[in-house]
Structure 1
Amino acid sequence: MEESRQELIQQLIKIIDGDAYRKGTKKGMCHPEVTNHMMKAAGGRAAFIKQAQIIEKDPVLGRSIKFIPGNLGMDIVQVHCAVEIMPELCSRIGIEDPRVRQLRYIHMMEQWKEKAGGTWLTAYYEDELDRLNRGKCSEQLRKQMDDEQGALYLCLDEMLHLEEPSEKPIFSARVFQNVTGHDGRITPSKRFRKQYQKRVCGIIKDYSPEYIEDMSEDEMLATHGILSYSQTLEWKGRVICTLDDGHVIDTGSLVYGTVLNAKTLEHIESVKLPGIQRILIIENKANYEKMEFNENELYVFCHGFFSPKEVRVLKKIEESAGEAIKYEHWGDLDYGGIRIFQYNKSEVFAELHPYKMDQDTYCQAIENGAGVPLEEGKRRKLEMLDAGMLESLKNSILTQGMEIEQELLI
């Protein structure tokens, strides 16, 4: 296509393009008025008129595009353009017809939906398909589909079909080892964290039933099998762990605390709890550090939401514990503390009870000036939350309009 016609053809494509065209329902003629913006985009008034004259003389384009003169033939005031000429316009300047592109995206999204196989990701793909079928096509979607070669969907698919938890760099390298066209300065093992983690977490937050309010990105990913190397399980107390290679770890001599990394957690096969009568989960690190070693108690530090590997070991602890063992959780007197308690009761220790998370403790803390104002967003979430065993704490927070973090009680 000659350079002298490209700018105006690009303008005509923009005029025809839109939700209705991409949806396949736009027919007939377009009759846009010529604006200063259109002329400027075509290189100015003189260039616009020259390009219009060339197009009208074109044996194919001229049958479907007419320019209406004005000002005694010295100007162009309107364009009559048949929608059906769009494929030819796109062909002339070497771009993909937006309707053809839309159908290609729909086909690709249907394939990803099929791979999701009725899992929670199906709802995400259905929403994306609904937008595409209505003719919607954002720049972000075009980037994901074409510039990034569907890498976001590769990440989602790999995450969904993980057979066992995977460290984040290994997961990233597995997804991107054969994906080309990306910034070569970012290695495959770092690409997920740098370019896709935030988007994947946004989808988890909106669609996954495993998401719990106030989870960090690492916690969201961990519940879906993508682990950070920093994940550890920390406790004070005597636990005898037998690894799958037969080695035994007895933490009874580590009176200042035990920290087990993700790899060790992965290889713990069984545990014993000699003498332990009480297990206390502590959400605040300073309070955890202040607890003295007690041969009858196990203090577990809770950094937030436990990862799958941590939950796996804690469930082994629950399985080996006697019925007389008492399970308690000491958390913040706020929305996040209530949610973490509920998660630990649901996913970790079924017999878990709150410790120092009652109405009296809350009121005493308020009297001591330890409260911080409750944000309006959290208030709305609290009002809708079934707090279960912590319903009285929830009502106190709503009544007083104040939350309390453990740090304020130290």
Structure 2
Amino acid sequence: MEKMKLLDFIIEQYERSSKWDNETSGNASFRIEEKHYKIIGKSALIEEAKELENSDLLKIRWVKGYYNIDIEKVEYPLSNMAYFYQISKRKPKYIAVAEQKDMVMKYYLTFKKPWIRSYIESEVLPKLEKGDYEKKPEKMEQLYQCLSGLDRLESPIFKRVFSKRYLNNSKVFEKELQKKIIGIARKYGDFVEDTMDYSMEDSDVLNQLYIEEYSQELNIKGKLRIKVEGSLIDTGCFPYGTVLNSQTIKNAIILDNPQITKILTIENKANFTAEPMEEGTLIIFSHGYFSPLERNFLKELADNLSGQPVTYLHSGDLDFGGICIFRYIKKQIFPQVKPYRMDKDIFNKYKSFGEPIEEVKLEKLKKLEEPMLQELINLIIKTGLVIEQEAYL
């Protein structure tokens, strides 16, 4: 790393001031402190100041009684800033900010997804207006290449395939960008409800962006009629359930299913497996939050069933996460869904299996409102206990 010089400190002070946007009228000064001597070296700093003074670029004000020994401050006209940048081989801040604005707007005009546009409108552009810019422009370019790739995704893709395709390296997304992207998505994506307060796992957030760690699989149990590439499929012939992988979900055509009178989603795999097949009921393992691909498939199924009476139920953990997942399904997939085995009687029945709730989740739960589960929420707050579904087995 190149050693700091007096001009570097002068430039940094100028860039922190309100005059950073190429204001060159008037004068300014820079007060020398002991820390500057320590960083640059006292003799080197004094020598540099003298050279600049001899070139009529600044004026030295010596500490009284310490001429040629200790500098109080240096004074200079702001009209010299362009030359200071030139001899320091630094790009002026106003130019760097303008370049980044141009780059951001070039990408922004191509973006379609609301969460990405909101991030730029609400965060990036306001920061640039204030002069808060990325000091490493190559990192910013990399971020926008990533956002551009995410903006184009309409179907699931494996994480490393995405990284290779859009960032030219199979591991760079996970190592350098994943945390940043998840943070942006949590803040601006409507697929993460504000009331959830970061309750989704990182992998769930990535799934909402169509980024997969592994192939998505929708576990179902019950009779569902679909058509895939000309073949009629009736999942009712699998008494213990079956799995629809990503390609099947993506390419399936949902047929008429007059036999379905109830849809039950279950949060945990063990409970899904133990749930017996029931005539007229389609049981679905939610594994937490459904991905966009699964969500769209289930919304299409609900649309197909809209002309017939169907009961929608969800069964999940009696905790903060389980309540949030119920809210997600209600908001994003099945508006008519009602809680199942998530009430006061079930809580009291399995209370002996309860575990203490984490303090941070308890505080979040106190701010959560869900009329259909308010009785359960109040019980958890009162007892400080949460119960996982597996306790029922």
TM over 0.5: yes
Is 1:176–2:173 an aligned residue pair? no
Q: Take 1:386 and 1:259, find their aligned partners in 2: how far apart are those partners?
A: 34
- 1:25 Cα deviation from its structure 2 partner: 5.8
For residues 180-219 of structure 1, the aligned pairs below 5 Å read 187=169, 189-212=170-193, 213=196, 214-219=199-204
CA–CA separation in structure 2 for the residues paired with 1:346 and 1:23? 46
For the pair 1:29 / 2:27, whether they are aligned, the reply is yes
CA distance in 2, matches of 1:301, 1:28: 69
The question of 1:360 aligning with 2:355 is answered no
Question: Which secondary structure does the structure 1 equivalent of 2:31 belong to?
Answer: coil
Supply the RMSD in Å over aligned alpha carbons: 2.8
Displacement of 1:24 in angstroms is 4.9
Structure 1 counterpart of 2:104, from 86, 100, 109: 109
Paired with 1:316 and 1:191, the residues of 2 have a C-alpha distance of 35
1:306 Cα shift?
Answer: 0.6
Q: Give aligned-pair identity as a percent.
A: 31
Please, which moves more after superposition, 83-92 or 19-28? Answer: 19-28
**Residue in structure 2 matched with residue 52 of structure 1 by the alignment:** 49
Larger displacement relative to structure 2 (83-92 or 156-165): 156-165
User: Counterparts of 1:336-355 in structure 2 under 5 Å?
Assistant: 336-355=321-340
1:68 aligned to 61, 68, 72, which one? Answer: 61
Cα offset, 1:142, TM superposition = 2.2
Give how far 1:269 is off: 1.3
The C-alpha deviation readout for 1:16-65, integer Å capped at 9, x for no partner, is 331423345685333333223222332x222222222222222xxx2x31
Which of these residues, 364, 369, 377, is aligned with residue 386 of structure 1?
369
Give the unaligned 5+ runs of structure 2. Answer: none
Task: Report the AA paired with residue 155 of structure 1.
Answer: C
Of the three residues 208, 221, 228, the one matched with 1:236 is 221
> Which amino acid in 2 is paired with 1:35?
E
Task: Determine the C-alpha separation between the residues in 1 that align with 2:59 and 2:78.
Answer: 12
Q: Deviations over 1:258-284 (max 9, x none)?
A: 122212211111245575443221111
In 1, Cα distance between equivalents of 2:151 and 2:59: 53
Shift of 1:246: 0.8
3-state DSSP of counterpart to 1:349: coil
- In the superposition, relative to structure 1, how do residues 261 and 76 fare at CA in structure 2: closer, same or farther (>3 Å)? same
Q: Which 10-residue stretch deviates more, 270-279 or 201-210?
A: 270-279
Shift in Å, 1:339:
1.7
Q: Equivalent residue of 1:92, what SS?
A: helix
State the TM-score, normalized to the length of structure 1. 0.83
Q: Which residue of 2 aligns with 1:89?
A: 84
Q: Deviation string for 1:77-115 (max 9, x for gaps)?
A: 221133332221111132211222122223333444444
Deviation at 1:295, TM superposition (A): 4.6
Equivalent position amino acid for 2:326 in 1: F
Q: CA deviation at 1:233?
A: 0.4
Distance change (3 Å), C-alpha of 1:198 and 1:373: same
Q: Do the aligned residues in 2 keep the contact of 1:233 with 1:301 (CA within 8 Å)?
A: yes
Q: Give the Cα–Cα distance (whole angstroms) in 2 for the partners of residues 123 and 277 of structure 1.
A: 40
Q: In the comparison of the two structures, how many residue pairs are matched?
A: 384
Distance 1:353 1:265 in 2: 25
Q: 1:6 to 1:340 in 2, by over 3 A?
A: closer
